[in-house]
Amino acid sequence: MKKELPYLFLCIVMALLLTRNSLDFQWFLADSTLDINMRDTYFEYDYIYKFIDAFVFTFALMYFFRIFYTKFKNRVVNYLYLSFNGLFILLLVFIIQSIYMLIKSFQELQIHSHNEFNLGFYSLIVIAVAAIVLEVYTIVRLRKRKAS
pTM of the model: 0.76
| pLDDT value, residue 129 | 94
| pLDDT value, residue 70 | 87
How far apart are the C-alpha atoms of 91 and 56, rounded to whole Å?
9
Torsion angles phi and psi, residue 43, rounded to 5: -110, 140
Q: What is the DSSP letter of 22?
A: S
| pLDDT value, residue 38 | 61
How far apart are the C-alpha atoms of 35 and 15, rounded to whole Å?
19
How far apart are the C-alpha atoms of 127 and 107, rounded to whole Å?
25
pLDDT along the chain (148 residues), means of 10: 81 80 54 60 70 87 89 87 93 86 70 62 89 93 81
- Do the Cβ atoms of 101 and 137 come closer than 8 Å? no
| pLDDT value, residue 28 | 52
